[in-house]
Amino acid sequence: MVEKKIQRRIITLRAEIRKHNYQYHVLNAPLISDYEYDRLMRELQALESEHPELITPDSPTHRVGGEVAEGFVRVSHPVPILSLSSAHSDDEVRAWFERIAKLDERVRDANFTVEPKLDGLTVVLHYENGVFTRGTTRGDGEVGEDITSGLKTVRSLPLHIPVIASGPKPPPRLVVRGEAIIYLDDFQKLNEELEAAGERIYVNPRNTASGALRQFDTSLTASRPIRLLCYDIVDSDGPVPQEQWEALLYLKALGFPVPSDITLEADLDGALNRYQDWIGRRDSLPYEVDGIVVKLNDLQLARELGVVGKDPRGAIAYKFPAQVVTTCLEDIGLNVGRTGVVTPFAILEPVEVGGVTVRQATLHNFDFIHEKDIRIGDRVLIKRAGDVIPYVIGPVVEARTGEESSYRIPDRCPSCGELLERIEGEVAIYCVNAACPAQLVRNIEHFASRGAMDIEGLGIKVAHLLVEGRLVNDVADLYSLDEEVLSGLEGFADKRAQNLIESIQASRSQPLSRLLTALGIRNVGEAAAGDLASQFKNLTLLSEVGLDELEEVEGIGPKVARTIIDWFAQPSNIRILKKLHKAEVWPEVTEPKEREVERVLAGLTFVLTGTLPSLTRAEAKELILLHGGNVTGNVSRRTDYLVAGESSGSKLTRAQELDIPVIDELQLKALIE
Ligand code: IVH
């Protein structure tokens, strides 16, 4: 009798897990959290180990998880691409240690590496004679999908190894495993750009990376900020390190990106202490990490210990506590962005996630609410990752009582009450009222932000006060504020008012490129603003330019050119420009006078790549042009220097291939001093 009940439970669990595997790996649309998935899997594993007679060869416990999507070439892996068993407490990690120490006493004296467990898309990279020849997904662990062309667009992926000429010589065939991820700040920036362009925003970095790499259109893949981090040598036909720590250093020396926070621990206690450090830093990590991986450093010993199902005995994932919880969706609020785009957010029954009380969460866009059929009153799954805003994953349909109500997309702006518009072909809904106070607050916040006019002390709260108190009607009004008016505002003691006025005044000397960024013209980011400034020298010239002339500017495509023309045609914007001119906020790019700036870089061609420590790309370009140098977009034999910052990708590889000197920001500055 008991047998029958258990058998039924096993069958149900297998069906559930298969469904979730498919949702997660093939459709990229998980229905439950990793934590809940793990729970199902662990229950099944426990039942199967108690009743081995009920094990079937097709049980999900025998698979890594993941089906191969139709359409990509299927590639057999050279060796199985294994998974990891996981633990959720120190006790479980100690139990793992005891299990393997019983199998081999050498484990008791072993040391361990501790690595982040990266939450991205697992990739398997093949190199032949140092050349990247093929990259695949993990698929089901035996067969993956060939995503070589998409991977080639990932800038941190070395197309040749060693990347550094002095690096070790790799064996003729080397297969490396890594994780394709998107850093949290890149993810946020990407979504902001998509939102500003009226396009659909992404739900989370993992699915974005995975979806982008499984695109047939690799130009889309290339436009996504995917990065790679490697952690394993899967296979090789020559000597490679036999210790995991050495293997990580070796991969790094070959030029592979390797996580920077890896450690070597003398014993298990060391690894458990490290876990506590990671928990403490969890919210400040640059990418999503769902735990740590503790690995036996001795790879030979690890191999000898073998595998259980698809999990190697020599390593274990120690997961962080769940950061997914369910709570009640009490209402849906609306946010009005700088460009007028209206986005919904969840107002939640307060709930604790990872030590923080969450009251609000992103709902992405109105289509998301509709597609997931999210209703007010629903219990919803909330995820919190890093310090990004928590987001709603979807409703818990089983928890419905019938009291929930469907949501109607608003037709009026929550701030100004004007009718909202949906622009053809875009998912976003806009408030097109130029005088909408909510947009003005966002515009001021943007105008004053760091990459723009950099007005210290003018964040969203102060912007709110200024708009609410009707002290400013547009960004130009900032320059007619004085201490007396400001000191009437709540919380503005004399000193604070004086400081703000001083920073506003100081912003007058920002260069034209900054003012252009600050004006918040759609699609005109820092790079485009820099290009426009060096071409047109002042706002008078730029406001008179025609579409054709704009399109000829390097870096300005037809879409951006159109938005610029439209922006300068808007009467409300012209009013702002007139006011800025009158207030003498009218920077000009002056031609360098021979006496003042020596054209020391005349005849030299530079290419810029990566993030420089203090200059933006546009500023570095301006600096080079000012000193008579030339800047182009691509590395070729005609390039004299590559100026490389952090996370430089293919341009760096190319420069090294062509033996072109690579310099950093300091060296660039040294050239012109
Ligand atoms: S080691 C034998 N190390 O986590 C090697 N895996 O279920 C087994 N993952 O998708 C994997 N970071 O790809 C290893 N530092 C790391 C990892 C890592 C992320 C992924 C792995 C797999 C999942 C394990």
Residue 613: CATH number of its domain: 3.40.50.10190
Give me the mean pLDDT over the 337-357 stretch. 89
Please give the distance, rounded to the nearest whole angstrom, from the Cα atom of residue 176 to the centre of ligand 1.
12
Which of 24, 118, 227, 264 has the most ligand 1 atoms within 8 A of CB, as the residue to mutate? 118
Instruction: Say if residues 134 and 148 touch (Cβ distance below 8 Å).
Output: yes
Q: Same domain, yes or no, for 478 and 504?
A: yes
500 and 530, same structural domain? no
Full-model pTM: 0.60
Cβ pair 350, 322 in contact under 8 A? no
> Would you say residue 353 lies in a domain?
yes
Same domain, 353 and 395: yes
Give the ligand 1 atom nearest the CA of 117. Answer: 12
d(C-alpha 464, C-alpha 438), whole Å: 8
Residue 239 lies in a domain: yes
Ranges of beta strands (E only) in 390-435 are 391-395, 420-422, 429-431
- Which alpha helices (H) appear in 2-89, and where do they start and end? 2-21, 34-50
* pLDDT at residue 384, as a whole number: 84
Please check whether residues 129 and 22 belong to one and the same domain. Answer: no
What is the Å distance from ligand 1's center to 124 Cα? 12
Q: How far apart are CA 311 and CA 563, in angstroms?
A: 54
Phi-psi region of 298 (alpha: psi -120 to 50; beta: other; left: phi over 0): beta
User: Model confidence at 123, in pLDDT bands (50, 70, 90)?
Assistant: very high
State whether 96 and 216 are in the same domain. Answer: yes
Please, is 670 exposed, middle or buried when counting C-beta atoms within 10 Å of its C-beta (0-12, 13-18, 19+)?
Answer: exposed
Ligand 1 atom with least separation from CA of 312: 2
Which of 43-52, 206-215, 267-276 shows the highest mean pLDDT?
267-276
Q: 118 CB less than 6 Å from ligand 1?
A: yes
Residues 606/628, Cβ–Cβ less than 8 Å: no
**Residue nearest to ligand 1 atom 4, measured at CA:** 117
Spell out the SS3 assignment of 484-535: HHHHCCCCCCHHHHHHHHHHHHHHHHCCHHHHHHHCCCCCCCHHHHHHHHHH
Band (pLDDT 50/70/90 cuts) for residue 69 is very low
- Out of 301, 319, 337, a domain closes at 319
Whole-angstrom Cα distance, residue 182 to residue 26?
19
Q: How far apart are CA 407 and CA 329, in angstroms?
A: 12
Protein residue whose Cα sits closest to atom 10 of ligand 1: 122
| Residue 495 confidence (pLDDT) | 86
Average confidence (pLDDT) over 3-13: 86
Q: Which residues are catalytic?
A: 117
Q: Is the CB of 132 under 6 A from ligand 1?
A: no
Query: pLDDT digits over 609-667, tens only?
Result: 988 887 888 888 888 988 888 888 888 888 889 999 887 778 888 888 888 888 888 88
- Please check whether residues 264 and 157 belong to one and the same domain: yes
Q: Output the CA 84–ligand 1 centroid distance in Å.
A: 6
Select the more confidently predicted residue: 537 or 673.
537
| Same-domain status, 565 and 517 | yes
State the closest ligand 1 atom to the C-alpha of 120, by its place in the atom list counted from 1.
19
Q: Kindly report the three-state secondary structure assignment for every residue of 189-247.
A: HHHHHHHHCCCCCCCCHHHHHHHHHCCCCHHHHHCCCEEEEEEEEEEECCCCCCEHHHH
How far apart CA 342 and CA 339 sit, in angstroms, is 9
The chain-wide mean pLDDT, for the chain, equals: 88
Residue at 304 is within a domain:
yes
Q: Is 117 in the pocket of ligand 1 (CB under 6 A)?
A: yes
Q: Is the pLDDT of residue 594 over 90?
A: no
Give me the pLDDT at residue 23, please. Answer: 62
Confirm if 186 and 268 have CB atoms less than 8 A apart.
Answer: no
Residue 58 has pLDDT above 70, yes or no: no
Would the CB of 327 count as within 6 Å of ligand 1?
A: no
With a 6 A CB cut-off, is 338 part of the ligand 1 pocket?
no
Cα 520 to averaged position of ligand 1 atoms, centre (Å)? 42
Counting from 1 in the atom list of ligand 1, the atom nearest the Cα of 64 is 7
With a 6 A CB cut-off, is 115 part of the ligand 1 pocket? yes
Residue 70 within a domain: no
Q: Do 301 and 359 belong together in one domain?
A: no
Name the residue at shortest CA distance from atom 16 of ligand 1: 117
Q: How far apart are CA 586 and CA 566, in angstroms?
A: 21
Residue 138 CA to ligand 1 centre (angstroms): 11
Q: Are 123 and 266 found together in one domain? A: yes
Q: Which atom of ligand 1 is nearest to the CA of 86?
A: 7
pLDDT value for 15:
81
Grade residue 64 by pLDDT with cuts at 50, 70 and 90.
very low
CA of 116 to the centre of ligand 1 (A): 9
Query: Has residue 447 been placed in a domain?
Result: yes
CA distance 335 to 429: 11
Q: How far is the CA of 177 from the centre of ligand 1 (A)?
A: 9
| pLDDT band (50, 70, 90) for residue 249 | very high
Two tokens, residue 186? 């890149």
CA of 460 to the centre of ligand 1 (A): 41
Atom of ligand 1 nearest to the CA of 122: 13
Examine the domain organization and report whether 601 and 486 are in the same domain. no
Asked whether residue 424 is assigned to any structural domain, the reply reads no
CA dist list (Å): 364 to 120, 122, 200, 344, 345 = 20, 26, 8, 7, 7
Q: Give me the CATH number covering residue 341.
A: 2.40.50.140
Question: Rounded to the nearest 5 degrees, what angle is found at the Cα of 351, between the Cα atoms of 346 and 356?
Answer: 105
Residue 232 CB less than 6 A away from ligand 1: yes
Rounded Cα gap, residues 110 and 260, in angstroms: 23
Q: 199: closest CA among 77, 84, 339? A: 339
The whole domain housing 660 covers 594-672
- Residue 21 confidence (pLDDT): 66
| Residue with CA nearest ligand 1 atom 17 | 117
Which is it for the CA torsion 642, 645, 649, 653, positive or negative?
positive
Long-range contacts of 482-490 (CB under 8 A, 24+ apart): 489/465, 490/465
Q: Find out whether the beta carbon of 656 lies less than 6 Å from any atom of ligand 1.
A: no
Tally of CA atoms within 13 A in the half-sphere of 19 that contains its CB: 9
> Is any ligand 1 atom within 6 A of the Cβ of residue 83?
yes
Give the CATH number, domain containing residue 165: 3.30.470.30
Distance CA 301, CA 289 (A): 27
Spatial CA neighbour of 209 closest among 232, 185, 176, 183: 183
Residue 277's pLDDT is: 96
H-helix or E-strand spanning residue 606: strand 605-609
Residue with tokens 């875009």: 426
Residue 73 counted as domain residue: no
Q: Does 108 reside within a domain?
A: yes
CB of 601 closer than 8 Å to CB of 620: no
Q: Do 96 and 181 lie in a common domain?
A: yes
Our count of domains for the chain comes to 6
**Cβ 312 under 6 angstroms from ligand 1:** yes
Strand partners, 86: 317
Q: Is 123 exposed, middle or buried (0-12, 13-18, 19+ CB in 10 A)?
A: buried
- Report the interhelical angle of 617-626 vs 526-536 (nearest 10°): 20
Residues 137, 257: one domain?
yes
- What's the rounded Cα separation, in Å, for the pair 188 and 27? 23
Give dist(CA 532, CA 529) in Å, integer: 5
Q: What is the pLDDT of residue 387?
A: 61
Per-residue pLDDT tens digits for 541-553: 999 988 988 988 8
Q: Evaluate: CB of 311 within 6 angstroms of ligand 1.
A: no
Count of alpha carbons within 13 angstroms of residue 522, beta-carbon side: 17
CA gap 157, 152 in Å, rounded: 7
Give yes or no for residue 293 CB within 6 A of ligand 1: yes
Number of C-beta neighbours around residue 91 at 10 A: 9
pLDDT of residue 592 exceeding 70? no
Indicate which residue's Cα is closest to atom 12 of ligand 1.
117
End residue of a domain, out of 509, 529, 551:
509
CATH of the domain at 446: 1.10.150.20
Rounded Cα–Cα distance for residues 507 and 613 (Å): 22
* Averaged pLDDT for residues 180-184: 94
Task: Answer yes or no: are the C-beta atoms of 407 and 365 closer than 8 Å.
Answer: no
**How many other β-carbons are positioned within 10 Å of the β-carbon of residue 601?**
22
Judged against a pLDDT cut of 60, whether residue 107 lies above it is answered with yes
The packing angle between helices 34-50 and 2-21, to 10°, is 140
Distance from the alpha carbon of residue 105 to the mean position of ligand 1, in angstroms: 25
